[in-house]
Structure 1
Amino acid sequence: MNANLAPTLPETRTSGADLELRGITKRFAEFVAVKDLDLLVPSGTFFALLGPSGCGKSTTLRMIAGLEAPSEGSISIGGEDVTSLPSHKRPVNTVFQSYALFPHMSVLENVAFGLKRKKDPEAMAKAQAGLEMVELAHLANRKPAQLSGGQQQRVALARALVNRPQVLLLDEPLGALDMKLRRQMQLELKTIQTEVGLTFIHVTHDQEEAMTMADTVAVMNEGRIEQMGPPRELYELPRTAFVANFLGKSNLMRGEVTGKRAGLLEVDVAGHSVLLPEDRAVQTSGQVVVGVRPEKITIDRTSSGAAHNELSGTVIDVSFTGTTTEYLVDVPGIGRIGTFSQNRGQQPAAVGDTVYLYWEADYSFGLAGDERMDAGVEQ
Structure 2
Amino acid sequence: MTVHGTVTTGFEEVRKEFAAFLARERQAPGAQLVVRRGSEQVVDLWSDGVAGESLMGVFSSTKGAAYLVTALLVQDGVIDLDRTVASYWPSFAAEGKGSITVRELLSHRAGLIGLDAGFTAQEIADDRTIAARLAGQRPFWQPGRFFGYHGLVIGALVGEVVLRATGQTLQQLYRERIRDPYDLDMWLGLPESEEPRFLSTLPMLPTPEQAADVTAAEHSPYSLGGIAFNEHAPGNSQPHEFPNSRPARAAGQASAGGIGSARGLAGMYAAAVFGVNGRKPFLERDTVAEFARIHSQGTDLVSGRQQTFGLGFHTFTTRFQSIGAGAFGHTGAAGSLALADPRQGFAYAYTRRRYAFPGGAAPENERLLWSVVRALA
Same fold (TM over 0.5): no
- Is the strand fraction higher in 1 or 2? 1
TM-score (norm 1): 0.21
- Is the helix fraction higher in 1 or 2? 2
Larger relative contact order (Cα-Cα within 8 Å, sequence gap ≥ 6) = 2
| Structure exhibiting the larger radius of gyration computed from Cα positions | 1
TM-score (norm 2): 0.22
